[in-house]
Amino acid sequence: MISQEQVNKASNFLKLHKDREILVLLNTWDPGSSKLIEASGFKAIGTTSMGIAASLGYPDCQTIPLKEMTDAVKRIVDKVSLPVTADIEAGYGQNLNEIVESTKQVLLTGIVGINIEDSYNLSPDLVEPMEFCERISAIREMADSLGIHLVINARTDVFITSSGSEDKRLKESIERGNKYREAGADCVFVPDVWEEEKIKTLLEEIDAPLNILSNPTNGTGFPPSITKLQDMGVARVSLGSSLMKSTLASIKKVAEEVIQKGTYQTLSDYLEPIPETLLAYKMATE
Protein backbone atom coordinates (compact mmCIF):
# COMPACT_ATOMS: atom_id res chain seq x y z
CA MET A 1 0.00 0.00 0.00
CA ILE A 2 2.57 2.57 1.16
CA SER A 3 6.00 1.93 -0.32
CA GLN A 4 9.30 2.68 1.33
CA GLU A 5 9.99 5.10 -1.52
CA GLN A 6 6.85 7.05 -0.63
CA VAL A 7 7.85 7.08 3.05
CA ASN A 8 11.31 8.40 2.14
CA LYS A 9 9.87 11.08 -0.13
CA ALA A 10 7.55 12.21 2.66
CA SER A 11 10.48 12.48 5.06
CA ASN A 12 12.48 14.50 2.54
CA PHE A 13 9.50 16.72 1.79
CA LEU A 14 9.09 17.49 5.49
CA LYS A 15 12.77 18.42 5.72
CA LEU A 16 12.33 20.94 2.90
CA HIS A 17 10.06 22.93 5.25
CA LYS A 18 12.88 23.26 7.75
CA ASP A 19 15.72 24.23 5.40
CA ARG A 20 17.21 27.71 5.29
CA GLU A 21 16.26 27.77 1.61
CA ILE A 22 12.58 28.49 1.05
CA LEU A 23 10.46 25.73 -0.53
CA VAL A 24 8.91 26.99 -3.77
CA LEU A 25 5.96 25.17 -5.33
CA LEU A 26 4.63 25.83 -8.81
CA ASN A 27 1.26 24.12 -8.61
CA THR A 28 0.46 21.85 -11.55
CA TRP A 29 -2.57 20.06 -12.99
CA ASP A 30 -1.37 17.30 -15.30
CA PRO A 31 1.69 15.13 -16.00
CA GLY A 32 3.04 17.41 -18.72
CA SER A 33 3.04 20.57 -16.62
CA SER A 34 4.46 18.57 -13.70
CA LYS A 35 7.31 17.07 -15.74
CA LEU A 36 8.17 20.52 -17.07
CA ILE A 37 8.35 21.95 -13.54
CA GLU A 38 10.46 19.01 -12.39
CA ALA A 39 12.85 19.42 -15.32
CA SER A 40 13.14 23.13 -14.51
CA GLY A 41 14.87 22.29 -11.23
CA PHE A 42 12.20 22.49 -8.54
CA LYS A 43 12.39 20.23 -5.48
CA ALA A 44 8.74 19.23 -5.17
CA ILE A 45 5.42 19.35 -7.01
CA GLY A 46 2.18 20.76 -5.64
CA THR A 47 -1.15 20.21 -7.36
CA THR A 48 -3.81 22.87 -7.80
CA SER A 49 -7.36 21.67 -7.19
CA MET A 50 -8.75 24.47 -9.34
CA GLY A 51 -6.32 23.62 -12.12
CA ILE A 52 -7.11 19.91 -12.11
CA ALA A 53 -10.84 20.61 -11.98
CA ALA A 54 -10.63 23.13 -14.85
CA SER A 55 -8.55 20.77 -16.98
CA LEU A 56 -11.37 18.22 -16.67
CA GLY A 57 -14.16 20.73 -17.26
CA TYR A 58 -15.30 21.30 -13.67
CA PRO A 59 -15.55 24.52 -11.64
CA ASP A 60 -13.59 24.84 -8.40
CA CYS A 61 -14.74 23.98 -4.86
CA GLN A 62 -15.08 20.20 -4.82
CA THR A 63 -17.49 19.85 -7.73
CA ILE A 64 -15.13 17.34 -9.34
CA PRO A 65 -15.82 13.77 -8.15
CA LEU A 66 -13.16 12.47 -5.77
CA LYS A 67 -12.32 9.55 -8.09
CA GLU A 68 -11.54 11.89 -10.97
CA MET A 69 -9.40 14.05 -8.71
CA THR A 70 -7.44 11.10 -7.32
CA ASP A 71 -6.98 9.65 -10.81
CA ALA A 72 -5.55 12.99 -11.97
CA VAL A 73 -3.22 13.16 -8.98
CA LYS A 74 -2.03 9.60 -9.54
CA ARG A 75 -1.20 10.36 -13.17
CA ILE A 76 1.04 13.16 -11.93
CA VAL A 77 2.69 11.04 -9.22
CA ASP A 78 3.39 8.25 -11.71
CA LYS A 79 5.19 10.59 -14.13
CA VAL A 80 7.53 12.48 -11.82
CA SER A 81 10.21 11.46 -9.36
CA LEU A 82 9.75 14.46 -7.06
CA PRO A 83 7.58 14.37 -3.92
CA VAL A 84 4.03 15.47 -4.73
CA THR A 85 1.69 17.27 -2.35
CA ALA A 86 -2.01 17.39 -3.23
CA ASP A 87 -4.57 20.11 -2.71
CA ILE A 88 -7.61 18.30 -1.27
CA GLU A 89 -9.64 21.47 -0.62
CA ALA A 90 -11.95 20.85 2.39
CA GLY A 91 -11.39 17.10 2.35
CA TYR A 92 -14.09 15.78 0.03
CA GLY A 93 -16.47 14.67 2.76
CA GLN A 94 -19.44 15.77 4.85
CA ASN A 95 -18.18 14.39 8.15
CA LEU A 96 -14.96 13.36 9.85
CA ASN A 97 -15.03 9.74 8.71
CA GLU A 98 -15.67 10.67 5.09
CA ILE A 99 -12.88 13.25 5.10
CA VAL A 100 -10.37 10.79 6.58
CA GLU A 101 -11.38 8.12 4.06
CA SER A 102 -11.11 10.59 1.16
CA THR A 103 -7.68 11.67 2.37
CA LYS A 104 -6.63 8.04 2.56
CA GLN A 105 -7.66 7.51 -1.07
CA VAL A 106 -5.53 10.49 -2.09
CA LEU A 107 -2.62 9.25 0.03
CA LEU A 108 -2.74 5.88 -1.71
CA THR A 109 -1.98 7.58 -5.04
CA GLY A 110 1.59 8.05 -3.79
CA ILE A 111 1.47 11.66 -2.63
CA VAL A 112 3.43 12.76 0.44
CA GLY A 113 1.57 15.88 1.55
CA ILE A 114 -1.79 17.61 1.48
CA ASN A 115 -3.34 21.06 1.69
CA ILE A 116 -6.61 21.02 3.60
CA GLU A 117 -8.66 24.17 4.18
CA ASP A 118 -11.12 25.30 6.85
CA SER A 119 -13.83 26.59 4.51
CA TYR A 120 -16.48 24.96 2.33
CA ASN A 121 -17.02 26.57 -1.07
CA LEU A 122 -15.18 29.65 0.26
CA SER A 123 -18.06 30.34 2.65
CA PRO A 124 -17.44 33.07 5.25
CA ASP A 125 -18.66 30.59 7.87
CA LEU A 126 -15.43 28.73 8.49
CA VAL A 127 -15.26 25.33 10.13
CA GLU A 128 -15.06 25.74 13.89
CA PRO A 129 -11.40 25.60 14.99
CA MET A 130 -11.78 22.58 17.26
CA GLU A 131 -13.70 20.66 14.59
CA PHE A 132 -10.96 21.40 12.08
CA CYS A 133 -8.33 20.35 14.62
CA GLU A 134 -10.15 17.04 14.98
CA ARG A 135 -9.81 16.56 11.23
CA ILE A 136 -6.10 17.26 11.31
CA SER A 137 -5.56 14.88 14.22
CA ALA A 138 -7.63 12.14 12.61
CA ILE A 139 -5.77 12.48 9.31
CA ARG A 140 -2.47 12.35 11.18
CA GLU A 141 -3.58 9.20 13.00
CA MET A 142 -4.69 7.56 9.75
CA ALA A 143 -1.40 8.31 7.99
CA ASP A 144 0.64 7.17 10.99
CA SER A 145 -1.27 3.88 10.99
CA LEU A 146 -0.09 3.36 7.41
CA GLY A 147 3.51 4.03 8.40
CA ILE A 148 4.01 7.41 6.75
CA HIS A 149 4.40 10.96 8.00
CA LEU A 150 1.97 12.77 5.71
CA VAL A 151 2.98 16.43 5.52
CA ILE A 152 -0.15 18.39 6.43
CA ASN A 153 -0.36 21.99 5.25
CA ALA A 154 -3.32 23.42 7.18
CA ARG A 155 -4.92 26.32 5.34
CA THR A 156 -7.06 28.94 7.03
CA ASP A 157 -9.28 31.01 4.75
CA VAL A 158 -9.89 33.89 7.14
CA PHE A 159 -8.46 36.47 4.74
CA ILE A 160 -10.25 34.97 1.74
CA THR A 161 -13.75 34.73 3.16
CA SER A 162 -14.11 36.96 6.23
CA SER A 163 -15.08 40.62 6.04
CA GLY A 164 -13.95 41.81 9.46
CA SER A 165 -11.22 44.35 10.13
CA GLU A 166 -7.65 43.59 9.13
CA ASP A 167 -6.59 43.32 12.77
CA LYS A 168 -9.43 40.95 13.58
CA ARG A 169 -8.67 38.72 10.62
CA LEU A 170 -4.97 38.70 11.44
CA LYS A 171 -5.70 37.74 15.04
CA GLU A 172 -8.04 34.93 14.01
CA SER A 173 -5.55 33.60 11.47
CA ILE A 174 -2.87 33.46 14.16
CA GLU A 175 -5.17 31.75 16.65
CA ARG A 176 -6.29 29.18 14.13
CA GLY A 177 -2.76 28.60 12.85
CA ASN A 178 -1.40 27.80 16.29
CA LYS A 179 -4.30 25.48 17.08
CA TYR A 180 -3.82 23.65 13.80
CA ARG A 181 -0.15 23.23 14.53
CA GLU A 182 -0.92 21.79 17.96
CA ALA A 183 -3.38 19.37 16.34
CA GLY A 184 -0.66 17.94 14.11
CA ALA A 185 -0.21 20.22 11.11
CA ASP A 186 3.35 20.56 9.82
CA CYS A 187 2.84 23.90 8.10
CA VAL A 188 0.26 26.69 8.30
CA PHE A 189 -1.05 28.25 5.10
CA VAL A 190 -2.58 31.75 5.19
CA PRO A 191 -3.58 32.73 1.62
CA ASP A 192 -4.45 36.25 0.49
CA VAL A 193 -1.90 37.85 2.81
CA TRP A 194 0.69 39.61 0.69
CA GLU A 195 1.75 42.76 2.56
CA GLU A 196 5.18 42.51 4.15
CA GLU A 197 4.09 43.77 7.57
CA LYS A 198 1.26 41.24 7.86
CA ILE A 199 3.58 38.42 6.83
CA LYS A 200 6.08 39.53 9.49
CA THR A 201 3.33 39.42 12.12
CA LEU A 202 2.29 35.92 11.07
CA LEU A 203 5.90 34.77 11.25
CA GLU A 204 6.29 36.24 14.73
CA GLU A 205 3.02 34.93 16.15
CA ILE A 206 2.46 31.52 14.51
CA ASP A 207 4.66 28.79 15.96
CA ALA A 208 4.91 26.78 12.74
CA PRO A 209 6.47 26.93 9.29
CA LEU A 210 4.48 29.43 7.22
CA ASN A 211 3.19 29.04 3.66
CA ILE A 212 2.52 32.24 1.68
CA LEU A 213 0.53 32.29 -1.57
CA SER A 214 1.52 34.16 -4.71
CA ASN A 215 -1.79 34.22 -6.59
CA PRO A 216 -3.28 37.73 -6.81
CA THR A 217 -7.09 37.62 -6.52
CA ASN A 218 -9.81 39.96 -5.32
CA GLY A 219 -7.56 42.99 -5.38
CA THR A 220 -4.62 41.38 -3.59
CA GLY A 221 -1.15 41.94 -4.96
CA PHE A 222 1.98 39.85 -5.20
CA PRO A 223 3.88 39.20 -1.99
CA PRO A 224 7.54 40.24 -1.72
CA SER A 225 10.04 38.41 -3.91
CA ILE A 226 10.94 34.85 -3.08
CA THR A 227 14.39 35.98 -1.96
CA LYS A 228 12.80 38.51 0.38
CA LEU A 229 10.34 35.94 1.75
CA GLN A 230 13.22 33.58 2.40
CA ASP A 231 15.15 36.28 4.25
CA MET A 232 12.05 37.00 6.33
CA GLY A 233 11.83 33.35 7.36
CA VAL A 234 8.89 32.12 5.29
CA ALA A 235 9.19 28.34 4.89
CA ARG A 236 7.13 27.84 1.76
CA VAL A 237 5.65 29.86 -1.10
CA SER A 238 3.18 28.43 -3.59
CA LEU A 239 1.62 29.80 -6.76
CA GLY A 240 -1.72 28.04 -6.31
CA SER A 241 -4.03 28.26 -9.31
CA SER A 242 -2.22 31.27 -10.82
CA LEU A 243 -0.11 29.18 -13.22
CA MET A 244 -3.18 27.43 -14.61
CA LYS A 245 -5.16 30.68 -14.81
CA SER A 246 -2.34 32.41 -16.67
CA THR A 247 -2.28 29.50 -19.13
CA LEU A 248 -6.03 29.77 -19.72
CA ALA A 249 -5.72 33.55 -20.09
CA SER A 250 -3.03 33.03 -22.73
CA ILE A 251 -5.32 30.70 -24.69
CA LYS A 252 -8.14 33.23 -24.46
CA LYS A 253 -5.94 36.03 -25.83
CA VAL A 254 -4.80 33.90 -28.75
CA ALA A 255 -8.37 32.79 -29.48
CA GLU A 256 -9.75 36.33 -29.39
CA GLU A 257 -7.16 37.63 -31.83
CA VAL A 258 -7.65 34.73 -34.23
CA ILE A 259 -11.44 34.98 -34.27
CA GLN A 260 -11.66 38.78 -34.22
CA LYS A 261 -8.74 39.77 -36.46
CA GLY A 262 -7.68 36.60 -38.22
CA THR A 263 -4.07 37.24 -37.20
CA TYR A 264 -1.54 35.35 -35.08
CA GLN A 265 0.62 37.95 -33.37
CA THR A 266 -0.24 36.89 -29.81
CA LEU A 267 0.41 33.25 -30.68
CA SER A 268 3.68 34.22 -32.31
CA ASP A 269 4.72 36.16 -29.21
CA TYR A 270 4.11 33.12 -27.02
CA LEU A 271 5.94 30.74 -29.37
CA GLU A 272 9.06 32.83 -29.91
CA PRO A 273 11.80 31.88 -29.82
CA ILE A 274 10.82 28.56 -31.43
CA PRO A 275 13.82 26.62 -30.02
CA GLU A 276 12.74 27.58 -26.51
CA THR A 277 9.20 26.39 -27.22
CA LEU A 278 10.45 23.07 -28.54
CA LEU A 279 12.69 22.67 -25.50
CA ALA A 280 9.72 23.21 -23.17
CA TYR A 281 7.78 20.56 -25.06
CA LYS A 282 10.70 18.17 -24.79
CA MET A 283 11.00 18.79 -21.04
CA ALA A 284 7.29 18.10 -20.57
CA THR A 285 7.25 14.85 -22.48
CA GLU A 286 10.52 13.03 -21.98
In a domain, 45, yes or no: yes
In a domain, 111, yes or no: yes
In a domain, 113, yes or no: yes
pLDDT along the chain (286 residues), means of 10: 96 97 98 98 98 96 96 98 98 97 98 96 90 98 98 96 89 98 98 96 98 84 95 97 96 98 97 95 95
pLDDT at 275: 95
- Pairing mode of beta strands 45-47, 27-28: parallel
Q: Please check whether residue 80 is in contact with residue 35, taking contact to mean a CB–CB distance below 8 angstroms.
A: yes
In a domain, 187, yes or no: yes
In a domain, 267, yes or no: no
In a domain, 269, yes or no: no
Give, to the nearest 10 degrees, the angle between helix 129-145 and helix 166-183.
30
Domain that holds residue 147: 4-240
CATH number at residue 156: 3.20.20.60
In a domain, 282, yes or no: no
Q: Please check whether residue 53 is in contact with residue 63, taking contact to mean a CB–CB distance below 8 angstroms.
A: yes
pLDDT at 218: 64
In a domain, 248, yes or no: no
Tally of domains in the chain? 1
